[in-house]
Chain A
Amino acid sequence: SQKIEQNSEALNIQEGKTATLTCNYTNYSPAYLQWYRQDPGRGPVFLLLIRENEKEKRKERLKVTFDTTLKQSLFHITASQPADSATYLCALRSNDYKLSFGAGTTVTVRA
């Protein structure tokens, strides 16, 4: 069956450090992968989309890598700030065309 797994543990980091989140998938052959941010009680907000032929993508302090051989994406938040504290979700389109989300990794940035 298709499965998306993200860091099971919450991530607590010091302001200014880099947070690295992992998204592993099984039985998908994705053409792309997406990352979203969700704040408590709010809907997710789209951050980045990376295609299978793109090894890396950046947006401001965010960097995403995509390794289709390892079936893994890494999401980096550099120079982290307390405002980056949120849950981050990766998402893939499954064989039946619906978008499936990982359970998310909660990041807390300490001042």
Chain B
Amino acid sequence: EAGVTQSPTHLIKTRGQQATLRCSPISGHTSVYWYQQALGLGLQFLLWYDEGEERNRGNFPPRFSGRQFPNYSSELNVNALELEDSALYLCASSPTLFTDTQYFGPGTRLTVL
């Protein structure tokens, strides 16, 4: 069974640009979660989607947005990039919104110059 996949592996942008990160959950999983992990810091919850709907959102500005597609894959968009957005962005999936365990992808390393 394939795990959670994320693309791209690395992304380099300049301040003010937009970044789009993609995530494919494990087959059959309906819930997708996004986290930000800045260097040396803990996981900060960003967004949670299930069945195409946004279920919860962390304390991030509106320029962080996303969506979930009918095939349950997801996209995270970050507009007007700032230097402090540089981080590892992790996507996780779970079979349903009621399932406790999350399965993480390898992450996308976003660098903002």
A, B bound: yes
Q: How would residues 81 to 106 of chain A score, 1 for a CB under 8 Å from any chain B CB and 0 otherwise? A: 00000000100010011111111100
- Chain A residues in 8 Å Cβ range of B45: 98-100
Contacts A103-B42, A104-B42 hold; do A32 and B106 have CB atoms under 8 A apart?
Answer: no
- The chain A residue sitting closest to B91, CB to CB, is A43
- Chain B residues in 8 Å Cβ range of A43: 4, 90, 92, 104-107
Check if A101 sits within 8 Å of B56, measured CB to CB. no
Whole-angstrom CA separation of A49 from B99 in the bound complex = 12
- Chain B residues in 8 Å Cβ range of A102: 42
A59 on the interface (CB 8 Å rule)?
Answer: no
B48 on the interface (CB 8 Å rule)?
Answer: yes
Check if B104 sits within 8 Å of A41, measured CB to CB. no
Contacts A42-B106, A43-B107 hold; do A98 and B58 have CB atoms under 8 A apart?
Answer: yes
Contacts A41-B88, A43-B90 hold; do A34 and B42 have CB atoms under 8 A apart?
Answer: no
B43 CB contact (under 8 Å) in A45, A49, A97, A101: A101
Check if A44 sits within 8 Å of B101, measured CB to CB. no
Smallest beta-carbon distance B30→chain A, Å? 15
User: Quick one: which of B68-104 are within 8 Å of A by CB?
Assistant: 88, 90, 92, 97, 100-104
A99 CB contact (under 8 Å) in B4, B33, B88, B107: B33
Contacts A89-B43, A99-B33, A99-B45 hold; do A46 and B58 have CB atoms under 8 A apart?
Answer: no
Check if A97 sits within 8 Å of B55, measured CB to CB. yes
Check if A34 sits within 8 Å of B101, measured CB to CB. yes
- Chain B residues in 8 Å Cβ range of A97: 55-56, 97
A103 CB contact (under 8 Å) in B4, B41, B97: B41
- The chain A residue sitting closest to B58, CB to CB, is A98
Contacts A96-B56, A97-B56, A99-B33 hold; do A32 and B100 have CB atoms under 8 A apart?
Answer: yes
Given contacts A42-B107, A45-B104, 17 further A-B contacts (CB under 8 A): A41-B88, A41-B109, A43-B4, A44-B43, A44-B90, A46-B101, A46-B103, A89-B42, A89-B43, A96-B56, A97-B97, A98-B33, A98-B45, A99-B33, A100-B45, A101-B43, A103-B41
Kindly list the 8 A-B residue pairs having the minimum CB-CB distance in the complex, ordered from nearest.
A43-B104, A103-B42, A101-B43, A98-B56, A46-B101, A43-B90, A44-B104, A98-B45
